[in-house]
Structure formats: C-alpha cells, structure tokens
Amino acid sequence: MSKNLFNMHNYGYVLKSIKKNPLLTPVKSSLNQKTILISGGTRGIGLSIGKSLASKGANIILLGKTQDPHPKLENTIYSAANLLQAEFPSSYVQGIACDIRKEEDINRCFTQIEDQIGKIDGAVLNASALCLAPTLKQTKKEIDLMSQVNINGTFMMAQKCLEQIKSSNHGHLLTISPPLEMINNDDWWVNHLYYSMSKFNMSLMAKYWAKEFPSIGVNTLWPRTTINTAPVRNILGGEDMINISRKSEIMGDAAAAIFLSDPVKCTGQNLIDDEVLVSLNKDVEKYRVNPDIKEKDLMPDFFC
C-alpha cells in the first residue's frame, strides 16, 4: 500500500463522551499463577500486552515467526522473551517460534507448553497479516497470506487455546480485531476490502466463541488511534503518522484490565482501548507518542 493512500489531513480524531463499562470492573488484583499465550508477541502491540500482563504477575508464552534479526523489525521471538524475563524476573516467560499458518507448528507449540508449564489460562490472538490494496491490485500471494494468518491461523490457534482455557477458573481469550458495529463504515472497506474482510472474520469468531464457551471471557480489542508499530511506520505513514499516534502501551494496559475482569460477565464485548481505560478511571493522555500533540489531532485507526 502506498504511504500516501491515507491523507492524514482528511482525518481528525474527535474526542467523545465515553460511557463507563461496568463489566470491566476488576475481580482480581493480580494474575499470579495464570499463564497467558500471545500470538504475534515479538514486538509492538503483542509485546506490550505481554509486558502489561507480566506486570500483573502472569506467566507469558510469546509466539512469533521472527527467529533471526531483521533490519526493519525489532527483536526476534527469543530476544523479546529475554527482554520480558529480565524486566519481570518473577514471571515465567517463554518465547516459542510458531507460524500459525502451519498446524504442525501449532501442535509443536502446545506440546512444548504442556511439557514445560502445563496448561494456559488465557490467550491473546494478535498475529495478523496486513496487505492493504484495493480489489484490482490485491495479489493472490497477499490474499493467501491474509486468509492463512487472519482467518485460518486464528481459528486453528483458538481451537488449541480454547480446549485448555475452558478448564481454567479465570479464562479469557482476546482477539485484536475491530468492533463489529463498525462493519457499515464504508471508508474501511473500499480501499482494502480483503484485509477488512479477514479482520472482521476474527471479530465474528470471537462473537460466537463467547456463546459457545460461556465460562470463558471472549472479547475483541481495537485501538482508537494509530499505534506506534512497525506496520504504521513501514507501511502506512512513516514517522509523520507515528508522531500523531499513541504508544502501544495503551493496548497492553487495556488488555491487562480485561484479563482482570470477570470472564463470565465480561464476554462478547467489542472493546476500544481508551474506553477500557476510561471505564477504570485511567488517564489516557499519557500514551501520546508526542506529548505536545493534542488529543484531537491524533490519527484515528481503522474502524474507529
């Protein structure tokens, strides 16, 4: 996708009145002795979620594809786990190389988890492929990648996760995908139909897993604004867009808040990062990459 596809001057972030969501009231003060798996955990939002969950005492399993250093990407899955372990030495942290497109990788991953730590209590399905193009320019390679990661990979990974989480007494599964109520927003379809379709598939899965597994809190989480991540920096808009974005820590702190809530009550929700934190009386202004940028000048993210 061209970095110029999004003209930043065509968009503005509008502050809104947010009604607090009482379902997010925490029922736990920590996640001690809980083990949470995060796909796409090498960097960005996935790693920030790992940090926030570890700060609450959780054991963390990070999954990712990057095993060797990349010139444009931070960390390998192993260095990411080492960073997390160094910052939170009281938590067990494991980095496992896993391509969620491959069933044998997923099976190997869960065999390793069972051998080393037992079962998981929660999961964050963050791994995703971003290939933004209009219909006539979307290549078969891109279509296959988004289908295999965002749809097939998410489903196959969730099958393994849900099988274990259902026996937890505080089980949560969170997909990083857009709110279903925004499905009628044409702006986020006409320029990249296949990507949007694949991401809304993740949200549809979460909606019905919440009904199929009533003892598990199954929700979606999405950012209000663009987030300082490699895709935003390398694909969407470079440093100019990063300057009007929020830090990935806002997604991490929102995810941790969801995992502290009652999984039986807080389920089937399409949640936005700042709405989660405002519901808990948390300050959202501290997450701006550039503190001199006003909230109203931040760049809105997809579907928000």
> pLDDT for 23-58, tens place per residue?
999 999 999 999 999 999 999 999 999 999 999 999
CA–CA gap between residue 269 and residue 46 (Å, rounded): 20
For strands 122-125 and 172-176, give the pairing: parallel
* Domain assignment present for 138: yes
Q: What mean pLDDT do residues 290-295 have?
A: 92
> pLDDT for 77-119, tens place per residue?
999 999 999 999 999 999 999 999 999 999 999 999 999 999 9
Number of domains in the chain: 1
For strands 270-272 and 122-125, give the pairing: unpaired
* Domain assignment present for 232: yes
| Whole-model pTM over 0.75 | yes
Task: Write down how long the chain is.
Answer: 304
From the list 13, 78, 194, 195, the catalytic residue is 195
* Domain assignment present for 303: no
* Domain assignment present for 29: yes
* Domain assignment present for 281: yes
* Domain assignment present for 94: yes
Residue 302 has pLDDT above 50, yes or no: yes
**CATH number of the domain that residue 46 is part of:** 3.40.50.720
CA–CA gap between residue 120 and residue 131 (Å, rounded): 31
What is the extent of the structural domain holding 187? Answer: 8-297
* Domain assignment present for 244: yes
* Domain assignment present for 2: no
> pLDDT for 210-266, tens place per residue?
999 999 999 999 999 999 887 777 666 678 888 989 999 999 999 999 999 999 999
* pLDDT at residue number 4: 42
Residues facing 261 on adjacent strands: 26
* pLDDT at residue number 3: 41
Q: For this structure, is 195 an active site residue? A: yes
Using DSSP's 3-state secondary structure scheme, residue 160 falls into helix
